[in-house]
Chain A
Amino acid sequence: MLLSLQHKTTFVYKGEAKDSVNDLRLCPASDTLQQCRSFKLTITPTASPLEYLDFNGNIVHSFSIIEPHPSLTIQAESEVETVPNSERKPIYVASFDELKNSPEAYQFAEFLTPSSYITFDDVLKSEAEKLIRNDRRDVWSEAKRVGAHIFKTFKYSPGSTGVKTSALESLRIRSGVCQDFAHVMIGLCRLHEIPARYVSGYFFNTLRREGEIEASHAWVEVYIPNHGWTGFDPTHDREADERYIKVATGKDYADIIPVSGTYRGGITKKLTVDVNVREISRTSIPA
């Protein structure tokens, strides 16, 4: 599937901002399931970003604006081709023993421990215990069961949580948005000894109604031996398929913040985010 996406972030400051230093994690990843065909970054006021890979292998664009500016706009435009569902490998059925003895175990050690948004509190632990079964099936089925549990018992409710809401806080009120669903699922998976990480990206909503919000999306990847990191979306209770565009991965939201940075000056008066994901029809591409 060939998708085009636009992600425009605008900060309007009270007064002016200066000495602004920022990191962007907006460039789609390229791996076995997707290829980023083009990426264009437009920053106003003009800045020349420096590109580097962070610890998790994500592409980061870093820039600074020293001069005072009343607002800052970051527009990221890209085209990504995802591997169609029909061409995707079936997910390997791996037992928990295989996972434990996997030679890649060193790669996922940090995705089994608590992280800044996901602490192992009593509330999370008792939720994980409720889900534990004596006859554990394969790793993927267990991960899907955890995801489905969240989908069934949580209410999707924009505004009920904020960007800094932790897994624990969202679990207490059993509601939130995709960011919270992902955090809780990661926490439960980790307590079930399934390596799990946070994925930041976009989702092409084929059933989108006019006026429905579009934003960046978040889901979860769990590690399946002999298969690799495999995406599951607890907000929609399904595997991440050709409609999902991956941008960055990390232990939790703190690792993949799309636009992060610091500046000197007044507070931020307004933050607006516009996301637009569309399919590019094959016929419109010139031969």
Chain B
Amino acid sequence: MPQNEKQPVSRPQANVMLSRVAHSLYWMSRYIERAENTARLLEVNQQFLLDFEGFDDTALKEHWGSILASADEDKLFKTIHDVADSVNVTDFMSLDPRNPNSILSCIFSARENARMIRDQISIEMWETINELYLFLKGKDRKEIWSRGPYEFFEDIKRHSHLFQGLTESTFSRTEGWEFIQFGKFIERADKTTRILDVKYHILLPDASDVGGALDTAQWQSVLRSASALEAYHRFYVHEILPWKAAEFLIFSETFPRSLYYCVTRVDELLCRILAETGPRRRTSAARSSKRLLSDLQSLAIDDVLKKGLHEFLIDIQKSLDHISNDVVETTMFYKAETSIEEQQMQQQQQ
């Protein structure tokens, strides 16, 4: 470069991030992950029911009811629909704007968050979210359900994967990256607990059915809801055993949707975000996350089953809630400060 050429001006504040930006990055990421998980859950269960055409209305209601219950959305559903059948539940969880956690609401919220920080993310990331938004906006419900929702769910999943891949390859590894990843893994951990919990709510017709064909098929759909079927089979060639499937989704050290894996990432990211370096954690969020992680490190599947899988999962959901609320409060939203006073002025009066 010629010597007299001016150096481009760098931004000294490039690494400083506003808490508002962190908040939007975090929620953008969480909503995308949430939409994808819901799409997977709905898709798998639709297919599952095709295998059991013999289900009567009661069994169907029970099945969909369990999905609503695991998502904590049965109350809201009841105010809108009377019957929990395939069409009602799928519609409620995917395209109903009245449900703040429907796929549609999640994508709209993710886009709204992305729009607020449009200058902080790459054009590719923005376009992917916006495309998904426009895709959903233009969808006619009847058209989706008449053609079969399979392609619809595939589209949602593909866009989410595309978005995550683009984030990985276009977003700088700054603090913002930590917030995006933190949002993704905390949501993923929460969704994995819920996917597992679906199985608790689906009652087997008879106690002797445990380990039977229906039970196995149900566990298979649980694994597929977490995209874990192939990964599971790499570890266990044997047919699907209920406690092995649960163990895999909870304790696998290598599968990226297992609770253990997600919580490990959450803990790492949290320590970086909160600047936790010492062995003894300073913040309450970091202490909770360490506690949760050491539970997952020290417990075995037998302990979990003894306590009850459902109770165990509910406790984990509570810990995750606590951690995420705490991080949002301390890093993204400052408590309302006392108002700013003006320094009293002196009159010039000589």
User: How long is the Cα–Cα vector from A217 to B347 in the complex, in angstroms?
Assistant: 9
Asked whether A179 lies within 8 Å of B343 as measured between CB atoms, the reply is no
Do B341 and A263 have beta carbons less than 8 Å apart?
yes
Known contacts A178-B349, A217-B350; 13 additional CB pairs below 8 A are A163-B345, A177-B347, A179-B347, A202-B350, A205-B350, A213-B350, A215-B347, A215-B348, A257-B345, A261-B343, A264-B340, A265-B338, A267-B341
> Does A200 belong to the interface (CB within 8 Å)?
yes
Interface pair B345/A259, CB less than 8 Å apart: yes
Query: In the complex, which residues 297-350 of chain B have their Cβ closer than 8 Å to any Cβ of chain A?
Result: 337-350
| Contact yes or no, B345 A216, CB < 8 A | no
Q: Is the CB of A177 within 8 A of B344?
A: no
Closest A residue to B345 using CB positions: A163
- Please give the distance in Å from B348's CB to the nearest CB on chain A: 4
Residues in A with CB closer than 8 Å to B350 are 177-178, 202-203, 205, 213-217, 235, 275
Residues of A close to B347: CB separation below 8 A: 161-163, 177, 179, 215
| Contacting residue for A9 out of B337, B346, B348, CB 8 A | B346
**Inter-chain contact B342/A216, CB cutoff 8 Å:** no
Quick one: given A22-B343, A259-B343, are A264 and B348 in contact (CB under 8 Å)?
no
What is the interface of chain B, defined by CB distance below 8 A to chain A? 337-350
In the complex, whether A141 has a CB less than 8 A from a CB of chain B is: no
A260 within 8 A of B: yes
Report the minimum CB–CB distance from B57 to chain A (whole Å): 63
Instruction: Kindly list the 10 A-B residue pairs having the minimum CB-CB distance in the complex, ordered from nearest.
Output: A177-B349, A261-B343, A163-B347, A218-B348, A215-B350, A179-B348, A217-B350, A268-B344, A163-B345, A262-B340
Question: Are A260 and B348 in contact (CB-based, < 8 A)?
Answer: no
Chain B neighbourhood of A214, CB < 8 A: 350
Which residue of the partner chain A has the closest CB to B340?
Answer: A262
**How far is A259 from B345 in the complex, measured between Cα atoms in Å?**
7
- Indicate if A273 sits at the interface (CB-CB under 8 A): yes
| Most chain A C-beta atoms within 10 Å of own C-beta, residue among B340, B343, B348, B349 | B348
Residues of chain B with a CB closer than 8 A to A264's CB? 337-341
Contact with B along A252-287 (1 / 0, CB 8 A): 010001111111111110010101000000000000
B348 neighbours in A (Cβ, 8 Å): 177-179, 200, 215-218, 253, 258
Evaluate contact between A268 and B349: CB separation under 8 angstroms. no
Cα A151 to Cα B344 in complex, Å, equals 28
Interface string of A211-229 (1 = CB under 8 A from B): 0011111100000000000
Quick check: B341 and A262 within 8 Å, CB to CB?
A: yes
Contact of B349 among A11, A20, A215 (CB under 8 A): A215
Q: Which residues of A contact B341 (CB under 8 A)?
A: 17, 262-268
Does A259 lie within 8 Å of B346, measured CB to CB? Answer: yes
Q: For A164, what are the chain B residues with a Cβ–Cβ distance below 8 Å?
A: 345
With a cutoff of 8 Å between Cβ atoms, the chain A residues found around residue B343 in the complex are: 11, 20, 22, 259-263, 268
Contacts of A258 in B (CB 8 A): 346, 348
Bound CA–CA A257/B348 (angstroms): 9
Q: Given known contacts A264-B337, A264-B338, A265-B338, is B344 in contact with A213 (CB within 8 Å)?
A: no
List the B side residues contacting A90 at CB < 8 Å. none
Tell me, rounded to whole Å, the shortest Cβ–Cβ distance linking B111 to chain A.
36
Shortest Cβ gap from B191 to chain A (Å): 41
The residues of B that contact A20 with a CB separation of less than 8 Å are 343
Say yes or no: is A103 at the interface (Cβ < 8 Å to chain B): no
Closest A residue, CB atoms, query B337: A264
Residues of B close to A215: CB separation below 8 A: 346-350
Instruction: Determine the distance from Cα of A162 to Cα of B350 in the docked complex, in whole angstroms.
Output: 13
**Which residues of A are found within 8 Å of B339, using beta-carbon distances?**
264
B349 and A260 within 8 A (CB)? no
How distant is the Cα of A265 from the Cα of B344 in the complex, in angstroms?
Answer: 13
Q: How far is the CA of A78 from the CA of B190 in the complex (A)?
A: 66
Tell me how far the C-beta of B261 lies from the nearest C-beta in chain A, rounded to whole angstroms. Answer: 41
A218 and B350 CA atoms in complex are apart in Å by 8
